[in-house]
Structure 1
């Protein structure tokens, strides 16, 4: 009806496999039957089939294509026996510029059913219409169920169905009209109410086929309502499981684990892993040893299909210790199949709540056992508990007095322990079990304790503080303070105490008075200036305020004039906050030691070390220069004796001479090398080596002496300059080479120009690193502070080397001080 091109457009409706092949006979497109035959990746399946068939298939393909292009009948295709026992008969057709390969399988019907039969056979609604005028050409019964009345035109369909079919205002949609043959079908979706009043979510696959000026619209509809309802059910189940924090899994003996719930697990075992809320995600190695018996009981019940509820603890690698409650519920599905639902709930919060009461009492006992106050708990049956301080205070263990009345710790009848406990503080003298007598201060508090439903008992807690220990500690503290005062007075260090707010001196020793050259009476009440002089008084006061703002020790050095001499005092400042009690004012401690002789000795040693280092460096640089020049001389002699390597050796001599020039400049120099001196030395070395004259016009201004080379960059930049100059002389054909040093406030530019032309398409970034020429320069130059460019300017090749800090630094002798 539609001719051969129509068959090409309706490949998806043909039951036999049909492949569209490129000119090289590789697969370009496959219809559904071909994909079922060759696999989802039909191109790869066709390649594997050609490889498996061997030369028989390749020879036939080559001869058939030649015969068809020549207008002759192609030879018959060799029969192919497939792996599943089927046989395939191939037929090759020309559809320029491509080929059509039709495969007829042994199990397939030898004839191709007509389009009408395919439409009647399909359970999906299908339609074929004229895309130009909108006339309905073919439709099947499934489509008539959606739109009763036998529509003869697309405009007769409901508006929503027209939009679903890609028909808008009497013409196809623009996206459908722009569709090409190799494009996938256009997919549309919409919610549609069928004539029976049922809500359906329909998906349409649209294809527009053109031939001889005629356009046909091919439509296939699919009801997605079931999928939508399934997704909605999954979403609702996900929300329910997430809200309840429950893990859900289903097990069938015939198929194993069918599905673990996607989201609703109490916790997950890690990114990309299975939720641990599902039973199969819990391995034995994460179950805690105490819960292994319960876990094994759960496994046995699961294997037998018994109902069980088990609570057990696991040690998760990310979430730590968790308590899980797993319930196994067997069931019988339709058809007699057995199924087991496994629900896992994270009950960690519940388990923690149950253990909280037990842990709380234990933690309180642990805290009370660590305090310095003696605590004794007495119940209706006598003493129940004593902390460590109480046991040490009375010199006994809990087992010695357990269950006895509190009066056993106080032999006297008139003791407060024998009276009814109250809230008042009492003070009394006690005698321990070891015979030691001591005074305590304490009080007693009564509380109620629930032993069970409706059962409440009274409990008394005594808190006792050993006063003798505190009095001994206070006496020891006073004695320590007196000893410290004597040590401070006799110490060779200058020590003074200052008020935190006013910085006035409240106390000082004889060494501090000697430092200031005044008596103690003259210094008391004065500020920092009376100790260190008026010139340094403000600076010392500022350092003291800094020390008051921090808990760290602030260290400073001050120079104090003592007659004609000047003494250096190393001072430490420390903020003393609350050392004298809550009511005492805050103080600042100053400790100073005379380090004049020590600093002088250090300065002398440092100067001697610097002088010795400079001497050694100069000697090393001088020897390196001589050795490098000796190596250059040896290389020159070898070049004379071995002319075949004279060019390579001459290049190496230039590199060695450049390094020697840098070491020669460093002899007697201190700090970074002046860039102008390195530039002149390398230019002179290249001129002597090459026997050529390089024009070096001088730049006006004083910036030439403002830039230096750091020691680490001197040799790489010198070698780079040597290679650039040698390269310019090499490619100048004897013409004049110009080299100029340009300086400004931001950096330095070395510009080298020589007559010549760059190769066509030359790019500097394509030059690879090497041991000579531009390759060596790219390898040596710093990446971030050196920019190399090479460009053609008229008849000259201009090379620019831009150096910015830190490859170059300002001359310390000419750069103005920032202070």
Structure 2
């Protein structure tokens, strides 16, 4: 990973992992070569397709990580992404204002179980998976395709004989196949079939019907039984061959002794004590094609009676490929008749050993041909062999330089390593290719003996021209990075991980500390940020060393009479075995930015409060207008006047609450709501209510939340109206009691409750006690009605959260 400092594109191009520069809307702006290789030539389109394929998980993480980083918090871990090529990608998001950096780490995923297609491709037998009802071919391998003239898609596309082998006839499966049960064995079918190459094969099919989720699938395996039929024929041919030629065909193995041929068994069966005559009329079909010329030479010698020694290979049905050595020795019998003695030896072990040596030599050449080191073999006659890397290195083929001295590949310099006597030490020299290109290599030469007694030289050469170019580019990149760090407007310092002392800093960091760069080197964070912030900075640096992500902090720095705000990013730099651990700190002055943000926030808050006050004022005016209209209707319609009068009281109560909210911020003081509702009820009823308060300083401490102000105001309006209604013109008393636990409103009026009255039995409604029970919060408001002599006492107890402490006061009860 790398820090959040501004990185030039050339520097990001040196990073081996994919790195994307994202805009503020998280679309791709720039990509390094590794990212373009990962996402394609159009990295922006590749990034868009990756986000679309990953779905909501990636989008949710991008948004949450961006918000966390901007808030100075630890971003959440990215969800692992499984790519189409089996790789997995782990993403990291970093801030590089005004853009973002997205770093991707690619890793190979667990291959898991091989797919069905791999099993089909691995099997040498023809395999088939088909829909047993519809006949559609679902899967088949290349061995099955070899049985068909063209790639089939349906069972009906196959030849009739092959359809019958697979249990398919005239577009429907055979009844015997459909009647197959799970516990039954596979259904076997056999037939002689002519493949597209014209070869006759005796095929055996094993059929299995697999039912799952209402589907019936046909699994078929075809096996070529032709070799079993040909094996017995080969036995007969070998016996006839030996009898016709009148020679003894015997094989001697050191570990098993003589092996002889039997007419009813293997021609190389163990336990043979004497050879049998079986090299007469050999069938050419069992001879390997490469050995046919030698076998024909043997036949001619047998016919002519010439002495000959022939080695050839046969493909035996049971023993496989065998190498035979046959010696033909003509002679005369005592009676003067001509005779021929034939001795055949099994030299398979010797041939296999020779082939193993050849294969080993070819394997070694193949390995040497695949390595990245150029290898050249030079014998007494000049260059004898070059591997692929050497041919690519010198820009020529072996035929171009074969037989020439090694110096043809070197500049004309008598002291060059190719012209001088080779030594055991490693040399480094400049070479010239056949195309004129000159480059540097490092290598050595080894002398080895040859079979003819001479010696040969083997040169191993490694092209280091690219390494030298990379080293030069690395030095240029480091110099560019040093210039960028020195000229950057950000304060950049590099600290030793253990002591946190400064090992490198730029001019901006020196300006921050108010000291020269040379004086800061070897200093502590306290010397950079001052003693007041030093301990906090050290703690933050220790946290960053233990973390794998960027740690962001803000520090208040005094600058004369003002205070500057510095935004610092801390990153633990991973180190190699020989590199000490370091901590990178990048700090920027964000004082003006924070001041602008605070000014915008205050302006937004002021605008919102102004809008809220205006809305409350208009609502109050509209409600009062509604109340006036209802009163006019009540004056014109006396029959509905009582009902409208009650509605007018409710509307006036709501208007009183909105009127109190005009010019107020935060919750409403309960005492003001109480006074406003009592005054409204008195004006509406034309009567006087005696009020009293108890609680002193707590009167201004208890407030009504905005969500509870209107329900409680309406409830108080209904309770006071109900008390006046049932008092028969007598005096009604109302008392507001405040204590540290909550608020109690007690209303007393002369009267008597109905016999058997229970408040809980009152149903919710739109007026009176029903409306009060519907409006009051159930858990934080308690309403009671009881008879006290000739008076009815109504108590409304409010506890938090129906009432809250005034945030503007400093009450000890809050």
The interval holding the TM-score normalised by the smaller chain is 0.3 to 0.5
TM-score, L = length of structure 2 = 0.46
Which gives a bigger RCO, structure 1 or 2 (Cα 8 Å, sep 6+)? 2
TM-score, L = length of structure 1 = 0.46
